[in-house]
Amino acid sequence: MQMGCMLVITDDTGRSAGLAQDLAAGAPIALVDLYDPSIPSEPASTLLVDVLDLRPDTAARLRHVLTRTPRGAPLVVLLHKDDPRGRMLALALGATRTLCPPFDIPRLRASLARPAVVPDAEPVPWCALQVASQARNFLTTVFVPDRPLTPAVVDTGSAFIEQAIQDTGIRDWIRAVRRFDDITHQHCLLVAGLAAAFGQALGLGEQECHRLTRAALLHDVGKIHVPTAILNKPGKLDANEMAVMKRHPEMGHAMLAGQSFQPEMLQVVRSHHEMLDGSGYPDKLKAAEIPDLVRVLTVCDIYAALIERRPYKAPMASGKAFAILESMTGRLDATVVDAFRPVAAAFIPRFPQDA
C-alpha cells in the first residue's frame, strides 16, 4: 500500500470496490475485508467504513479491525440506514464524520474534502454518546416546522438535558455533542448543556436552573424557518444569506407568541443577539433594556458558537474562546462572563486562568 491511500473497511469488497475507485479518482485505495482482514502497515490518508448494516456485532468487528489499523487519519463511516443507534455506534468507534445516503460521488467527495477533524486522543464515554444521541432525537422529532411547540414539550427536553449534564458532566457532553453533523442540533444541545452546567455552577435553585435550560433549548427555535442551505453552508454567508439568518430571533418569537410561554422565554428568543452597547439585533436594545436571563444566554450562545465544530472551521480551544468573551467588554455583561469561567474551565482542565 502506498503512503496516504484511502483505506476502505467493508463487509462486501465487491460492492465497495467500485465506490472506492470512483471516490479516489485514480488515487491509491486499499480494501480491507471486515470478515477476513489483512491490514496494511502504512498509515492511510482516510479510513472509510462501508458496512451495510451497522449493528453491535459488526461494530465490535470494526473496533477489532480499527485497533490493528495505523490511526491518525479521519475516520468516515457511511451509514446506509440513518438511525440513531447506527450513529451512536459510529461515534463510539471514533468516527470523525458520518455520511448518510444518497452516496453519489460528487457529494461524497465534497464531504471528504472538508477540513479533517483531528480524532480525539481520549475516547468519548459510551454513556455520554448515548444520552447526547437521545437528546438529539428529541430535537429532531419536536423542533420541526408546522409542529406547535408547547411549554410542556420544552420542559421535557430541558429536564432531560439537566439530567444528562448531571450524569456525564459538561466536558463529555460537549465532546459527544460536537461530533454531530447537523450544525443546528449541535448548537442547541451545546448551548442547553452549557446553560444547565452554568445554572448548576451558580448554585441556582431547581426552578431557576429549569428556566435557564428551557431558555437555552428554545433560543434559536426560529432557525427552523431558515433554509438548510444557509444553516449548513460550508463557508461564510453572503449579505443576503446573513440577512435571512438574522431574522431567526423575530421568527422564533412569532412562532412562540400565543403558545402560553412565559414572557421571559419569549424575550430570550427575541433578544439573545442584542448587545449591551446597542450594536445587536433585532431591536438594538441597550444595557438596562436587556434582562439578566438574556445576558446569561448570550454568553452561553457565543461561547458555544466558538467551540463548535463547523464544516469550515475546527473547534476553538476553550481558553481562546473564553478570552474572546472577556474581550467583548461593553457588549457582554462582564459579571456574567466572569461567573462563566468555571464552566469553561471544566471543559478544559488545564485552563490557563485556573492553572
Residues lying near Fe ion in the complex (CB under 5 A) are found at: 220, 301
Pick between residue 274 and residue 301 the one whose CB is nearest to Fe ion.
301
Q: What is the nearest approach in angstroms of Fe ion to the Cβ of residue 297?
A: 8
Q: What is the nearest approach in angstroms of Fe ion to the Cβ of residue 270?
A: 10
Q: What is the nearest approach in angstroms of Fe ion to the Cβ of residue 183?
A: 10
Name residues whose C-beta falls within 8 Å of residue 49's C-beta, 6 or more positions apart in sequence.
8, 9, 10, 62, 75, 76, 77, 78, 90, 93, 95
Pick between residue 32 and residue 347 the one whose CB is nearest to Fe ion.
347
Pick between residue 34 and residue 337 the one whose CB is nearest to Fe ion.
337
Q: What is the nearest approach in angstroms of Fe ion to the Cβ of residue 243?
A: 14
Pick between residue 95 and residue 294 the one whose CB is nearest to Fe ion.
294
Q: What is the nearest approach in angstroms of Fe ion to the Cβ of residue 298?
A: 9
Q: What is the nearest approach in angstroms of Fe ion to the Cβ of residue 301?
A: 4
Give me the torsion for CA of 330, 333, 338, 344, rounded to 10°: -100
Give me the torsion for CA of 131, 133, 136, 140, rounded to 10°: -130
Q: What is the nearest approach in angstroms of Fe ion to the Cβ of residue 222?
A: 8
Pick between residue 301 and residue 333 the one whose CB is nearest to Fe ion.
301
Pick between residue 246 and residue 341 the one whose CB is nearest to Fe ion.
246
Give me 233's grid cell.
453552508
Pick between residue 95 and residue 216 the one whose CB is nearest to Fe ion.
216
Pick between residue 16 and residue 298 the one whose CB is nearest to Fe ion.
298
Q: What is the nearest approach in angstroms of Fe ion to the Cβ of residue 344?
A: 17
Pick between residue 220 and residue 274 the one whose CB is nearest to Fe ion.
220
Q: Which residues pair with 29 in a beta bridge?
A: 6
Pick between residue 162 and residue 301 the one whose CB is nearest to Fe ion.
301
Q: Which residues pair with 311 in a beta bridge?
A: none
Spatial distance between the Cα atoms of 70 and 230, rounded to a whole number of angstroms: 37
Cβ 281 vs Cβ 246: under 8 Å: yes
Cβ 189 vs Cβ 153: under 8 Å: no
Spatial distance between the Cα atoms of 253 and 258, rounded to a whole number of angstroms: 10
Spatial distance between the Cα atoms of 341 and 316, rounded to a whole number of angstroms: 16
Q: What is the nearest approach in angstroms of Fe ion to the Cβ of residue 88?
A: 25
- Only one residue has cell 463510539, namely 92
Q: What is the nearest approach in angstroms of Fe ion to the Cβ of residue 24?
A: 38
